Amino acid sequence: MIKQAIIVNLKANMPIGRLVAQVAHASELANDLESRQRLKAEFPDEFGPVTKTVLRGFGDEHLLELLEKSKSRNIPVAMMREDGFNTALAIGPAPKKKVDEITFGMLLL
């Protein structure tokens, strides 16, 4: 199974419309054609619809830490930034196990 987790920075204190837009932008940026083709070639048995979850993040430092962990594991990522805050971080799409290693224990939004 292929998964993508989008982490929202709750400390950015965004109105709900802006929060939803940031989640959508981050998801789209991380889910580019090149990443999808690489995944399909690397994990043909797991490839299919991408399960998405939206999780709670707590501050710029938290999102940056997750970004670095993802990059070190060669997982596609995209960070959205607006008004001086990191607003949303998309991790994946990647195999569920790889995404869960980074986001384990995080709470759903």
Percentage of residues in the chain with pLDDT exceeding 70? 100
pLDDT in tens, 28-60: 999 888 877 888 888 888 777 889 999 999 999
Question: 3-state DSSP call for residue 93?
Answer: strand
pTM across the whole model: 0.92
Q: Which CATH architecture has domain 2-103?
A: 3-Layer(aba) Sandwich (3.40)
Strand ranges across the sheet with 85-95: 50-57, 2-9, 85-95, 77-82
Spatial distance between the Cα atoms of 42 and 36, rounded to a whole number of angstroms: 10
Is the link from the previous residue into 93 a cis peptide, with omega within 30 of 0?
yes
Task: Give the pLDDT confidence score for residue 40 in this predicted structure.
Answer: 83
Domain borders along the chain are: 2-103
Over the chain, what is the mean pLDDT?
93
